Amino acid sequence: MKLAKVHLTSTSVYSQSRHYEVDKERSETHEDYDLRTWRHRMHVNEEGYVYIPPMAFKNCLSESAQYLQIKIPGKRGATFKAKFESGILIADPLVLPIKAMDVAKERLFVPADGRRGGSTRVWRNFPIIPSWSGVLLVYVLDEIINQEIFTEHITWAGRVIGIGRFRPAKNGFYGRFKVDRIEWLDVALDAAA
């Protein structure tokens, strides 16, 4: 099994929109509630640092495989989509070097139900991180995903799929990233357990 240590750098701003439930205070308006609780839209670890969940990158890679539709040689038209869905493992979040309390917000007039084109709009605050970088650990379990195929998929994932709120795959332009380099290591199969 291979471990890809993927060094990433953002190429656009990043924003999160995690679902949360916090009780509303008495006589608090919806706008006041959002202003008080908007930081709950971020994924934050116990030390207070914002992190990008592993599944954000896993889904990004799977969507990239769907987008690229690269055929597996000798497999009668089968693409790498299923291989990226089951043949890679991303177990650890990418922790960003920024605390939730230091993240700025952007105020947007968005559909109340969160669906594009909704008729009722409300003001909401979302976290905005201008830039980030880090190392993503990806265990490549299926050997049919070689270094060249993996590199092409993760590169395109950062260009056209993205992560987070308002990413390219959702008709936006936030959450794009580039691959600076990839370090490849051979690891034992139980290392990913």
* Domain locations in the chain as residue ranges: 2-192
Instruction: List, for residues 78-136, the tens digit of each pLDDT value.
Output: 999 999 999 999 999 999 999 999 999 999 988 877 777 777 888 999 999 999 999 99
pLDDT of residue 177: 98
**Residue ranges with strand state E in the chain:** 2-10, 49-52, 88-89, 94-99, 104-111, 121-128, 133-140, 177-186
Q: What is the mean pLDDT of the chain?
A: 94
Q: What's the pLDDT band for 67 if we cut at 50, 70, 90?
A: very high
Global pTM value: 0.92
pLDDT higher than threshold 70 for residue 192: no
pLDDT of residue 110: 86
Q: What's the pLDDT band for 193 if we cut at 50, 70, 90?
A: low
Helix (H) or strand (E) holding 65: helix 54-68
SS (H, E, C) 133-147: EEEEEEEECCCCCCH
